[in-house]
Amino acid sequence: MKSISTLSIALLCITSAAHGASISNDIAVMFPEMEINQQSEPLYKSVGFDVSMHDGEAIYTANASVDISETWRVFGEYNNEHYWEVGVGKSFYTQAFAIELSAKASDYGFSAGTFWAMPLQEDYVVFADANYNWNTNDLSIEADRVSSVYTPADSVDIQLGLLWKAHEYLGISYSFNQIYETKSASLNTDITLPEYDVSHKHHYLYGKGSMNYHKLSITSKIWKLAPYFSYSYFADSENIYEFGLAFNF
């Protein structure tokens, strides 16, 4: 597996930390009629708050999802690091599976993707998620007579997983996640030392990289409350722990 550049890993980890909720809560929000042995109203709303730990730092995120029709919803989130995301999703249902197409704008850029879920027997749901991400937020670093601009690469993220309805009030899921950079990230550095008659500009391209991680989530359901815990394992960076509470109504 090729490694994504250090700055790209930092961005991806921050993004991963910002995207909260266990997949079982996500499925309940996007496809409430797919909740096993549960009855739901056609229109669905969910608000939540979660705390994730990464590199010893806590990230606090508020999120919400609101159905605006039987197949359309809007959603968004915001965290204490000023990361924000808003999006819209359109769902399609058949007797065998459900699909949601979504488009999102965030602090880092734009993304478009699809989420697919299919129940297996009574207590299992297999799911897949794929998104293309256009990163538009360059990082500027200014120091004494040195300036740098880092342009992150666009990326594709893919998720494959299985949700097990272990109990009427307990869901456990596992997913394998892969992230691919679709182009090289770049770093432009400008060094100016007039007293030494030095003016140097350097353009560096990082090689396209990829990384994967594993995610385990546990969600319970008590009345309309859905507390959840998730653990994301990264082989080449700090792992992420997340605790949250969603209120579905």
- pLDDT one digit per residue (tens) for the chain, 249 residues: 444 444 343 334 334 433 444 566 676 665 665 654 444 455 678 888 888 887 778 889 998 988 888 889 999 999 998 889 999 999 888 878 888 999 999 988 999 999 998 888 778 889 999 999 998 877 777 666 677 777 888 899 999 999 888 888 888 889 999 998 888 787 777 776 666 655 667 776 776 778 899 999 888 888 888 888 889 898 877 788 888 888 877
CA diameter of the chain = 75
DSSP letter string over 36-64?
TT----SS-EEEEEEEEEETTEEEEEEEE
The SS3 call for residue 168 is: coil
- The model's pTM is 0.79
Whether residue 153 contacts residue 181, with contact meaning beta carbons closer than 8 Å, is answered with: yes
Q: Give kind and range of the element (H or E) at residue 191.
A: strand 186-193
How far does Cα 216 stand from its chain's mean position? 14
**What span, in angstroms and rounded, lies between the C-alpha atoms of 228 and 115?**
20
- Pairing mode, strands 240-248 and 45-54: antiparallel
Listed residue (248, 218, 206, 211) closest to 233, CA to CA: 211
Q: Count CA within 13 A, CB hemisphere, residue 55.
A: 7
